[in-house]
Structure 1
Amino acid sequence: MSMTQADIERKKSWRQAIAVYGHPIMLAMLILGFASGLPLMMVFSKLSYWLRDVGIDRSTIGFFYWITLSYTLKPIWAPMVDRMPIPFLTAAMGKRRSWMMVAILGTMIGLFIIAFSDPSQGLWLTLAGAFILSYSGATLDISIDAWRIESGPREEQANMAAAYVLGYRGAIFFSGFGLALSSWTNWTVSFCVMSLTMGICGLMVLAMREPKHSVRLQTAGGLGHRIAEAIIEPFKQFGTRLGAWIVPVFLLVAFYRLSDFTMGVMASPLYSDIGFDRAIVGGIQSGPGLIATIAGGFLGGLIAYKFGVLRAMFVGAFLTLATNGAYAWLAALNSPDTVGLLAVVISSDNLAAGFVGTAFIAYLSSLTDPINAATQYALLSSLYALINKFIAGFSGVMADALGYVNFFIVTAGYALPAAALVLFIMIKGSPAAKGLVRYDGKTDEAAG
């Protein structure tokens, strides 16, 4: 008789859940998370700082943000990363690591081009470097996601996501060092050091194992047929496997993180309007806030491993409701003397974000087929990023119309329909919708 969900959960002790983090693959995920986060932070945050330093107007800097759309558009070339071998490199290193190395080389080139450009004299060279950096970083994300999905069993994906989040946060912290380095020396040195750091990450990739790939059946037909199959098959597969459940699943993917996206845009303006000192806010974000994010990520991984990914997502929705709603309390007090409350609010929100992010990554991973891992994961991650970023763009309009207090109450409330969708899939959903079906046609565990 097959084991039920409850049987499996009882057999997973807390010691087993914690011991998962001792596996060597977690160190690899830590490194890959760092390599994934550094390019985005340099093109999105630190480059903007440099442009403003040399007197570039805010509107132009805002248009530079469009460069990061590469991270949303990556499903367009993800099928190529999934299927196209790189001459010589793929044979020597394997499909996933070869693409990682090419992408890392691209980020190094982009960073070097930016380093030796002079935006005060003209933006074209800086723009070219930012373009190469951004699209190489997005390609690196595609290959890393595929490597992660293929390298670990489904029940460990949440733990691997937690290690990835920790590495990503490390990149955010390290990019802050790059900002300080630019002050001690200059921007050229700062971007060159970041480029060399990516090179070190590349050397570490060489020490990682290439995962075992699922066998792809060869089909007859010419080049055009094979290209069409590479693009259409991964997307068609979702419909075949999920059936009618594709609607609630895609709705959950699209809107589960909406509360975080919309609230986050107005958090910094709130701090400024209340009158908190920037040094205090920065200290909380990089100190207790960072620790809370890391703790939340690992807690999310533990809960998902012990009780299942959907249960962790359900808990995460209510954590989001409570912690994002706390911003309404902060706004209602509207006093720069509430520094203690500010620290609690930021830290709690970061803990919830780390928890939710880890569980959500694990759920997205459970929906993908290892054969099409790069393409399908890129589609899912871009689906929620595109929709949430678009809606978040109206956050300022909402805050002006409703006021801060009501704005944060409304955005916290977005977590409720997300929780309802999770509960609906958890109770009524097919095994595929729950992310329980392996792509050998079997289920990891009985639905329940």
Structure 2
Amino acid sequence: MAAAATDQPKKPGWRRVLRALGNRKTGFMALFGFASGLPYALLLGTLYAWLSDAKVDLETMGVFSLIGLAYSFKFLWSPLLDRVELPLLKRLGKRKQWIVSAQLMLGLILLVLSTLNPLTALGWFSLLAGIGAFASATQDVVVDAWRVDVADEEATIDMLSTVYQMGYRIAALVGGALALFLAERTDWPTVYATMGAIIALVGVLGLFAPDAEVTAATIGAAEDELLALREVGEIDPRVRKWALFGIGLLWAWALITVGLFMVRSLGSDPETRPDSVAFIATKGPLVVIATVVVPALVAAWLVRMKDKGRYVLTAASPARSAMDRFVDHGYRALILPLTDFVGRLGWAVILVFALVLTYRITDAIWGSFAYPFYLGELKYSKDEVAIASKFFGVGALVVGLALGGTLLTVMGRMATLTFGALIAALTNLLYADLALGGARIAAVSDASGFTWLVSHLGGDQRLAKLMLAIAGENIAVGIAGAAFVAYLSSVVAKGYSAVQYALLSSLTLLVGTLGRGALGQMIEEYGYYPVFLLTTAMGMVAVVLCLIEWARVARLGRASGIDATALEGA
């Protein structure tokens, strides 16, 4: 009974929602969410509209999309963000120093981009865009860690996760639709200069944000953790050294591989550019195996050896050299986050990873084919798609996020997570109906009066069908997204939040990214209708995994491996 109660609110749901919304941390979380979403929209979306207007060729624009790899592999440098202090800025706080510096850098980059001509200064343009993507991905890592670190019983991890998503989605609207609107009436340099000033302003405001408290006690705890590695019963330093050496080599290989690919891809000679599809399909899984799977297995072996009392110290062995201290710091930054995962979760780490890999698969795997479906298969115009997906769709997504945040507080995290997975899968059936003509959606739209409303605003029944389908999916994705971010935030431990959250969030879109090629081929051969039935069935896998995880958490409570602080805010 006590275990099951950990997922229940301590006070009436609406009172907790209102208290959380009035908290200072919640306001800054929305601001940081906006700052995370804006550069992503500008660098990986709106930028291509500017390049198109500048008459940059399609092949070069395709190369620009590779800067998105910074977001896919951001976990590779996340250990540094957990341990490295910035000179002159460390007084701002462990997380704020990185958040503020990344935001100010992004503001400066966008301002400089606004002074360049992408056609005549393509080299500098691509370099700055790449650095901007790196800074943006770095900001995402630290903002995710900040959210976990500052959560408390009032500003709960669930509410912080929800307002972060809302800020992020509003930024997508500002950096997408609003930027296009401004560009039509001014010019692209003005748009990017304005957006750069906005992000720089957020960086200035971020100076006043709260940060996780760093007291003499917490500093001492960090030092004690390093000293504890040399105590009796801990893994022998020689074994730790070889483990660190092996895992360090794998991560270094991954960083070099991804870095070289990006440098070669952004080169000026098209003949020397590698095949990006082949890289994602072949090297992508290898990078994940090298940086996640193998290190997790090594961490599991280390935990098992320590539990069995093998390869452990029988007497204290203080660090005696700079190399000893280097190994201790490296082990703490790179391997302890993984051993913490395995130690807390045990065999359930497989369940958690499987849930992370499959939860967002329904929208991740088919999202790239949305516009071909709307424009090519269903023959909607670009204006109709813009109205339905960008304006109305984003509004529906924000509504879904608000509903998700409320459900998290009222129903509990695991119930909302499971419900979100279910409706995210089932709303694929809306598109399956559209693929057959949309008779069922039309009937619902007519009966509910939605068709009448759209027609009086200048549309017709055909547009109403598309808007209703997109609204249904986006509300479901909003609820699922709010619950999923809250779940990921509860799984990680505060002491290793940057590394652990970056790993989990990077895995989220992996299966969808790797499976798009096969899905595209299936669409070519069989059409869209069976594809939507397939994605619905794939989404049910996540529902089953959610039910299993829900039962595990309810049965074990804190022993399930969910971070204790996060549970207090559940």
TM over 0.5: yes
Residue matched to 1:259: 362
Question: What are the Cα deviations for residues 19-64 of structure 1, in whole angstroms up to 9, with x where unaligned?
Answer: 1223222211110011000111111011111112222222321221
Residue matched to 1:365: 489
Computed over aligned residues only, the root mean square deviation of the Cα atoms, in angstroms, reads 2.4
Residue matched to 1:390: 514
**Which of the residues 273, 280, 289 maps onto 2:384?**
280
What letter is aligned with 1:413?
A
What letter is aligned with 1:223?
F
The correspondence of residues 4-83 of structure 1 with structure 2, limited to 5 A, is 4-6=3-5, 9=8, 11-19=10-18, 20-83=20-83
Residue matched to 1:101: 100
Distance 1:415 1:437, change over 3 A: same
Distance 1:417 1:222, change over 3 A: same
The correspondence of residues 308-319 of structure 1 with structure 2, limited to 5 A, is 308-319=412-423
Distance 1:58 1:150, change over 3 A: same
Residue matched to 1:268: 371
**Which of the residues 517, 520, 523 maps onto 1:399?**
523
What letter is aligned with 2:36?
S
Deviates more, 1:194-203 or 1:422-431: 422-431
Question: What are the Cα deviations for residues 338-357 of structure 1, in whole angstroms up to 9, with x where unaligned?
Answer: 22111110011110111111
Cα distance in structure 1, aligned partners of 2:424 and 2:370: 14
Deviation of 1:182 after TM superposition, in Å, equals 2.4
Deviation of 1:366 after TM superposition, in Å, equals 0.6
Cα distance in structure 2, aligned partners of 1:443 and 1:168: 25
The correspondence of residues 333-344 of structure 1 with structure 2, limited to 5 A, is 333=437, 338-344=462-468
Residue matched to 1:110: 109
Whether the 8 Å contact between 1:109 and 1:132 is mirrored in structure 2 is: no
Distance 1:394 1:102, change over 3 A: farther
Residue matched to 1:235: 338
Deviation of 1:6 after TM superposition, in Å, equals 4.3
Whether the 8 Å contact between 1:78 and 1:378 is mirrored in structure 2 is: yes
What letter is aligned with 1:166?
M
Normalising by structure 1, we get a TM-score of 0.92
Percent of aligned positions that are identical:
30
Distance 1:208 1:402, change over 3 A: same
Deviation of 1:16 after TM superposition, in Å, equals 2.3
Question: What are the Cα deviations for residues 280-310 of structure 1, in whole angstroms up to 9, with x where unaligned?
Answer: 2211223332221111112112212222211
What letter is aligned with 2:196?
S
Whether the 8 Å contact between 2:95 and 2:143 is mirrored in structure 1 is: yes
What letter is aligned with 2:564?
R
Residue matched to 2:397: 293
| SS at 1:414 equivalent | helix
What letter is aligned with 1:325?
L
What letter is aligned with 1:268?
Y
What letter is aligned with 1:298?
A
What letter is aligned with 1:276?
Y
Distance 1:249 1:334, change over 3 A: same
Residue matched to 2:138: 139
Deviation of 1:433 after TM superposition, in Å, equals 8.2
Cα distance in structure 1, aligned partners of 2:187 and 2:6: 59
Cα distance in structure 2, aligned partners of 1:334 and 1:444: 45
Deviation of 1:432 after TM superposition, in Å, equals 5.9
Whether the 8 Å contact between 1:67 and 1:130 is mirrored in structure 2 is: yes
Question: What are the Cα deviations for residues 207-236 of structure 1, in whole angstroms up to 9, with x where unaligned?
Answer: 211122554233443224412431121122
Whether the 8 Å contact between 1:320 and 1:352 is mirrored in structure 2 is: yes
Question: What are the Cα deviations for residues 78-131 of structure 1, in whole angstroms up to 9, with x where unaligned?
Answer: 11111111112112x111111111111221232133222222124211111101
Deviation of 1:396 after TM superposition, in Å, equals 1.8
Whether the 8 Å contact between 1:70 and 1:135 is mirrored in structure 2 is: yes
Residue matched to 1:322: 426
Deviation of 1:393 after TM superposition, in Å, equals 4.2
**Which of the residues 347, 350, 353 maps onto 2:474?**
350
Question: What are the Cα deviations for residues 324-373 of structure 1, in whole angstroms up to 9, with x where unaligned?
Answer: 22101011107995221111100111101111111000110111111111
The correspondence of residues 171-182 of structure 1 with structure 2, limited to 5 A, is 171-175=171-175, 176-182=177-183
| SS at 1:287 equivalent | helix
| SS at 1:95 equivalent | coil
Whether the 8 Å contact between 2:169 and 2:394 is mirrored in structure 1 is: yes
What letter is aligned with 1:218?
L
Cα distance in structure 2, aligned partners of 1:275 and 1:132: 38
Cα distance in structure 1, aligned partners of 2:6 and 2:528: 47
Cα distance in structure 1, aligned partners of 2:8 and 2:561: 16
What letter is aligned with 2:462?
T
Q: How many residues align?
A: 442
Distance 1:115 1:224, change over 3 A: farther
Deviation of 1:10 after TM superposition, in Å, equals 6.8
Question: What are the Cα deviations for residues 227-274 of structure 1, in whole angstroms up to 9, with x where unaligned?
Answer: 243112112221111111111110001111001111322221111021
Cα distance in structure 2, aligned partners of 1:185 and 1:297: 33
Whether the 8 Å contact between 1:293 and 1:353 is mirrored in structure 2 is: yes
Cα distance in structure 2, aligned partners of 1:169 and 1:312: 20
Question: What are the Cα deviations for residues 417-437 of structure 1, in whole angstroms up to 9, with x where unaligned?
Answer: 100011112124554685644
Deviates more, 1:60-69 or 1:179-188: 179-188
What letter is aligned with 1:173?
L
Deviation of 1:443 after TM superposition, in Å, equals 6.7
Whether the 8 Å contact between 1:37 and 1:172 is mirrored in structure 2 is: yes
What letter is aligned with 1:239?
V
**Which of the residues 418, 426, 431 maps onto 2:542?**
418
Deviates more, 1:107-116 or 1:76-85: 107-116
Normalising by structure 2, we get a TM-score of 0.73
Cα distance in structure 2, aligned partners of 1:10 and 1:102: 37
Cα distance in structure 1, aligned partners of 2:198 and 2:505: 26
Residue matched to 2:282: none
What letter is aligned with 2:109?
G
Cα distance in structure 2, aligned partners of 1:401 and 1:200: 50
Cα distance in structure 2, aligned partners of 1:390 and 1:419: 21
Deviates more, 1:346-355 or 1:388-397: 388-397
Whether the 8 Å contact between 2:173 and 2:391 is mirrored in structure 1 is: no
Cα distance in structure 2, aligned partners of 1:250 and 1:36: 25
Whether the 8 Å contact between 2:392 and 2:467 is mirrored in structure 1 is: yes
Q: Which runs of 5+ in 2 are unaligned?
A: 228-318, 440-459
Residue matched to 2:353: 250
Residue matched to 1:160: 160
Residue matched to 1:304: 408
Cα distance in structure 2, aligned partners of 1:323 and 1:54: 39
Cα distance in structure 2, aligned partners of 1:288 and 1:433: 43
Distance 1:351 1:226, change over 3 A: same
What letter is aligned with 1:383?
L
Deviation of 1:445 after TM superposition, in Å, equals 10
Distance 1:443 1:293, change over 3 A: closer
Residue matched to 2:204: 203
What letter is aligned with 1:289?
G
